[in-house]
Amino acid sequence: MKNTLAVSSPPNDLLLKLNLLIRLRWGGIFLLFILLSYSLAFWEQGALIYPLLFLLGLTLLFNIALHLDLRKRHTAKKIIKMLNLQFYFDIFFYLFIFHFTGGTGSPFFILLLFPAISATIVFQPPGSYFRAGATLLMFGLILYGETNWHMNPPFLMIISMKEKTILLFIALTGSLLLSVYLTANLVQHLRQRFKKLVALQENLKRSYFETVMGLAQAMEAKEPAIREHFERTILYATLIGKRLGLDDENMEYLRFGAVLHDIGKIGIAKNILTKPAKLTPEEHEQIKKHPGIGAHIINGVEFLKKVKPIILQHHERYDGKGYPQGLKGEEISFLARIMSVVDAYDAMTSDRPYAKAKSREKAIEELIREKGKQFDPGITDTFLEILREM
């Protein structure tokens, strides 16, 4: 067998073709084998030895071809590793059956080749564990059928009753053990698939966050201090969200909202945004457009659909005197009500172009004063609790 696998030379052309043939035309090959093997089974027994040996050889070749991708170069070490235990188990298994079914004179193991070959071809590695399971199961069933339902020759025609009983026991026990093994294997396989899926999802989430941060960078061009603002906003919003028991999904929206709530300021003139004095009523009207512009910017971005209310409503007031829609109380999205409190608190405690930062105590006083007016009372209480602990 080792000679056939020219270890360090390029893949043998014949094997390469066989490999591809099996992969692409397995159905045709399988049918051919059924015909060939059946005609062999009805032949005179003495003449069976050479075709049977040929079939055995071919089955082993199938195994090699399926275990190795012959289009690639392989080192001896790699080949041994790739052929793995399954392969050696196959050889042992075939020889075992060969011996116990009456050696070279038995037509029985032709039957064994059907499930073995078909399962090998259908369930390509790593699913090839099924091959051994399917083989044993078929083997057990045939034996069981022969013993209990008196199936006619050519099946098992030269196996003595004693050998049949031993084989039946071995086959059924083997089938059971393999079923357990296969199930465990399948579970492990599914678990790995699941892990991969989770990793993929994490990756997607990270890309989402990077996209959002990219959008945020566009805002930095207009308001250089905005990064620190939304970093603190993320922190406060996350703390409130956690304490209020928000689920992972809503926490994610809240974080995105914290970064993007002022994205609409991209559409407001820089001189208004950075004006070091009180704004005129006209300028104030301009500023009031930023939630609407922001919502418009992210409109149509599927993963930001639930973030849109945060952007659009973060300047709404609990008493209905906010903008742009004048929504009141619970008409305002819950996440937007959280954003409203943390955004206002951070604005108060930061230096703005038109005003110096308030002290933490003054800002807390303001939160208490506006509780139930500008801000949702429950959320404000939660935030005050957090601030006192900080």
Of residues 52 and 212, the one with the C-beta less far from Fe ion:
212
Measured from the CB atom, is 107 or 264 closer to Fe ion?
264
State which residue, 262 or 316, has the beta carbon closest to Fe ion: 262
259 backbone φψ class: left, alpha, beta (φ>0; ψ -120 to 50): alpha
Tell me whether residue 252 or residue 262 sits nearer to Fe ion (CB atom): 262
Least distance from Fe ion to the Cβ atom of residue 314, Å: 6
What is residue 352's DSSP assignment? B
The DSSP secondary-structure symbol of 8 reads S
Question: Which residue lies nearer to Fe ion by CB, 86 or 350?
Answer: 350
CB of 184 to Fe ion, least distance (A): 56
Q: How far is the CB of 348 from Fe ion (least distance, A)?
A: 13
CA–CA distance from 34 to each of 27, 45, 98, 128, 312 (Å)? 11, 18, 19, 20, 70
Please work out the total of residues on this chain that contact Fe ion, with binding judged by CB under 5 A.
1
The span from the CA of 40 to the CA of 34, in Å, is 10
Q: Are 232 and 196 in contact (CB under 8 A)?
A: no
Return the number of the residue (112 or 226) whose C-beta is nearest Fe ion.
Answer: 226
| Interatomic CA distance for residues 234 and 241, integer angstroms | 10
Output the smallest distance, CB 290 to Fe ion, in A. Answer: 6
Map residues 46-65 to x or -, x wherever contact with Fe ion holds by CB under 5 A. Answer: --------------------
Side chain identity at residue 257, one-letter code = G
What gap in Å lies between CA 304 and CA 307, rounded to an integer?
5
Query: Residue 292 Cβ, how far from Fe ion at the closest point, in Å?
Result: 11
Q: Per DSSP, what are the bridge partners of residue 375?
A: 371
**What x-and-dash track marks residues 236-275 binding Fe ion by CB under 5 A?**
--------------------------x-------------
Comparing CB distances to Fe ion, the nearer of 128 and 313 is: 313
CB of 185 to Fe ion, least distance (A): 56
Nearest distance in Å: CB 278, Fe ion? 17
Instruction: Quote the strand ranges of the chain, DSSP E.
Output: none
**Using the rule CB under 5 A, is 376 a contact of Fe ion?**
no
Could you please report the per-residue DSSP string of 69-132? -TTS---HHHHHHHHHHHHHHHHHHHHHHHHHTTGGG-SHHHHHHHHHHHHHHHS-TTTTHHHH
Residue nearest to Fe ion (CB): 262
Residues that bind Fe ion (CB under 5 A): 262
